[in-house]
Chains A and B, each alone.
Chain A
Amino acid sequence: MTADNYIKLDFPSRSVNEGFARAAAAAFAAQLDPTMEELGDIKTAVSEAVTNCIVHAYPDTLGKITMRLRIIGGDTLEISVKDTGRGIEDVAQAREPLFTTGGEERSGMGFTIMESFMDKLTVRSKPGRGTTVTMRRTIERRPRR
């Protein structure tokens, strides 16, 4: 499917960029005229995906995170967050609620939140090579005021 509009952002895995990434995603998503609630859902899902890269993909180093956003079919936002870090051995286990390898500073609810706030979530990962999380959310068209 061809994209109506797209952006690509590369940034290092510094935690200060969590806030930047979700603000950038919200700014891009604004052209779909989302509700405040939809915008909040998008920001939350982006925050979870980017934080996973920072905490799990590059635990002891700084690495590159690539966030791509595109609008497809006029009403759907696709978000992909890619790293070239450690990768996930067992994706099914990582997606289980409350599973975490991040200690007590993490809740193990990141994937659960991404799943419940987005319409679709796919995770592709190769140990030692990196992980790409792709999410889609359709924004319902509202009558113009």
Chain B
Amino acid sequence: MKVTANYSAGRLTIHLSGELDHHSAREGLGEIDQLLDEYMPRDAVLDMSGLTFMDSAGLALILKTERRMRRSGGRAAIANPARQPSRVLEASGIERKIPVIGGSRT
């Protein structure tokens, strides 16, 4: 998985691309932590448009990011998940905890 980001007016958009599983999640979490330390955004958006695969390791990454943002008084959201990641998000019920914007719904 590749992690890139851009920042504008308090909002950090974190672009995830490739495959997000347990193997890639640890490094990804470290990179996201570093980005949040660096920018201290009010809003963090996990843009999943480039993510071709995600399993429950992605849910842990999302929950950890959401918790960290909430603790610092900020907000987190998910944007543009493709079909397979969408099905994992839906099966988990995670949308009750974090908003999902756009993307492919089943």
Interface, chain A (partner B; CB < 8 A): 15-16, 18-19, 22, 36-37, 40-41, 43-44, 47-48, 51, 54-55, 104-107, 109-110, 112-113, 116-117
B26, B57, B83: the one within 8 Å of A40 (CB): B83
**Stretch of B6-14, B31-39, B71-79, B87-95 on the interface side:** B87-95
**Which of B25, B59, B63, B88 is the most central at the interface, judged by chain A CB atoms within 10 Å of its CB?**
B88
- Are the C-beta atoms of A18 and B91 separated by less than 8 Å? no
Take A18-B23, A44-B84 as given contacts and tell me if A117 and B53 are in contact as well, using a CB distance cutoff of 8 Å: no
Which A residues are CB-close (under 8 A) to B23? 15-16, 18-19
- Are the C-beta atoms of B91 and A105 separated by less than 8 Å? no
Q: How far is the CA of A89 from the CA of B53 in the complex (A)?
A: 31
- Are the C-beta atoms of B55 and A112 separated by less than 8 Å? no
Which A residues are CB-close (under 8 A) to B59? 107, 109
- Are the C-beta atoms of B53 and A107 separated by less than 8 Å? no
B55, B83, B91, B92: the one within 8 Å of A47 (CB): B55
- Are the C-beta atoms of B22 and A18 separated by less than 8 Å? yes
Q: How far is the CA of A41 from the CA of B86 in the complex (A)?
A: 11
- Besides the contacts A15-B23, A44-B87, what 13 more A-B pairs have beta carbons closer than 8 Å? A15-B22, A18-B21, A37-B87, A40-B53, A47-B21, A48-B56, A51-B55, A104-B60, A104-B63, A105-B64, A106-B60, A107-B59, A117-B87
Q: Is the interface of A mostly helix, strand, loop or mixed?
A: helix
B22, B53, B92: the one within 8 Å of A51 (CB): B22
In this complex, the interface size class of chain B, counting residues with CB under 8 Å from chain A, is: 20 to 34
Which B residues are CB-close (under 8 A) to A40? 53, 83-84, 87
Which A residues are CB-close (under 8 A) to B21? 15, 18-19, 47, 51
Min CB–CB distance A112 → chain B (angstroms): 7
- Are the C-beta atoms of B22 and A113 separated by less than 8 Å? no
A22, A37, A54: the one within 8 Å of B83 (CB): A37
B40 at the interface (CB under 8 A from A): no
Q: How far is the CA of A105 from the CA of B61 in the complex (A)?
A: 7
- Are the C-beta atoms of B84 and A54 separated by less than 8 Å? no
Which B residues are CB-close (under 8 A) to A107? 56-57, 59-60, 63, 92
Q: How far is the CA of A116 from the CA of B93 in the complex (A)?
A: 12
Which A residues are CB-close (under 8 A) to B26? 105
- Are the C-beta atoms of A105 and B55 separated by less than 8 Å? no
Q: How far is the CA of A74 from the CA of B9 in the complex (A)?
A: 56
